Amino acid sequence: MAMFGDVVMPGTDGVDPHYLPPPAAWLALTEPQRVVLEVASLASVRRLLENLEPGDGHPVMVLPGFLGSDAYNASLRRFLAGLGYKVHGWGQGRNLGPRGNALETLMERVAMLRDRYGEPLSLVGHSLGGIFARELAREDPSTVRQVITLGSPFGRGRHSASYPARLFEALNPTDDLPVALDDLHRAPPVPTTAVYSKGDGIVNWRTAFQNLDFAHASTQNIQVRGSHCGMTLNPAVWYLIADRLRQSIDNWKPFSVSGVARVLVPKHG
């Protein structure tokens, strides 16, 4: 069963931030098989997860990863809607990157939803979707309540540390990107949770980990066990997203293992 690993606050690990290799080939090759295991483990505890304490009903947007669409996150969105949240997809079709006016259009959508509900949104982004979420919060913090990233390669060294990097760069020439690439590794000015897995077969997990030097007090890294492609189908990820969304808008606290989480979480220091 996919489970939480260590819960850690932001920090450095001595790795050269300017160059990181992609994950080991065996991790990449076993991604499909491990996604199947995550789906199976989700099915075994789904009823338990659906009986979690409901949230306060604030709006939430779930953003897909590179080459993904809202269809890929449908199960996660239904789960969050079942907990009482006003859940939306990103509504931009397939995620091909921030080329053209994609980021501007998304900012307008988030602002529109904020105005509709009269309160800021929580943004949950898988992989590249998490980078979008961080940039949206950076550009206009008034529209974003918090950001939760799932295996998002925002850290330094990301250019060499993921297998889809060349395809992404071909679709999104660096000179045309409407984002400040030198600031991607800096946490946005809202509560931010970075979920990562050392078993990630697509991006080097170190790039999905928020470095302390570029973070703030309301920032946390949480390690889970699982694949990259299965992040949105991982029961531990569902549980911690539900926990993070229940945080008070005025009193953010870091995640800690308690209650039903003990079923999912191995012993850790």
pLDDT score recorded for residue 78: 97
| Both structure tokens of 35 | 């996604």
pLDDT score recorded for residue 269: 27
* Spatial separation of the C-alpha atoms in residues 70 and 82, rounded to whole Å: 17
Between 55 and 263, the higher pLDDT residue: 55
pLDDT score recorded for residue 159: 64
pLDDT score recorded for residue 264: 58
Structural contact between residues 164 and 118, judged by C-beta atoms closer than 8 angstroms: no
pLDDT score recorded for residue 259: 60
| Both structure tokens of 187 | 């946490």
Exposed/middle/buried for residue 111 (C-beta within 10 Å: 0-12, 13-18, 19+):
middle
Q: Residue 123 belongs to what H/E stretch?
A: strand 121-126
pLDDT band at 96 (very low <50, low <70, confident <90, very high): confident
Domain ranges of the chain: 4-264
Residue 4 has pLDDT above 70, yes or no: no
Q: Residue 117 belongs to what H/E stretch?
A: helix 102-117
Comparing CA positions, the residue from 246, 195, 133 lying closest to residue 4 is 195
Find the largest Cα–Cα distance for the chain: 49
pLDDT score recorded for residue 12: 47
pTM of the model: 0.87
Question: Which of 83-87, 101-105, 157-161 is predicted with the least confidence, judged by mean pLDDT?
Answer: 157-161
pLDDT score recorded for residue 174: 53
pLDDT score recorded for residue 67: 84
Mean pLDDT of 116-135: 95
Mean pLDDT of 206-227: 91
pLDDT score recorded for residue 262: 59
Instruction: Annotate 27-47 with b (16+ C-beta within 10 A) or e (fewer).
Output: bbeebeebbebbeebbeebee
Per cent of the chain over pLDDT 90 is 57
pLDDT digits (tens, 9 = 90+) for 26-60: 988 899 999 999 999 999 999 989 999 999 999 99
Amino acid at the residue 142 = S
Residue 164 has pLDDT above 80, yes or no: no
Cβ atoms within 10 Å, residue 177: 14
Q: Which residues pair with 245 in a beta bridge?
A: none
Homologous superfamily in CATH for domain 4-264: Alpha/Beta hydrolase fold, catalytic domain (3.40.50.1820)
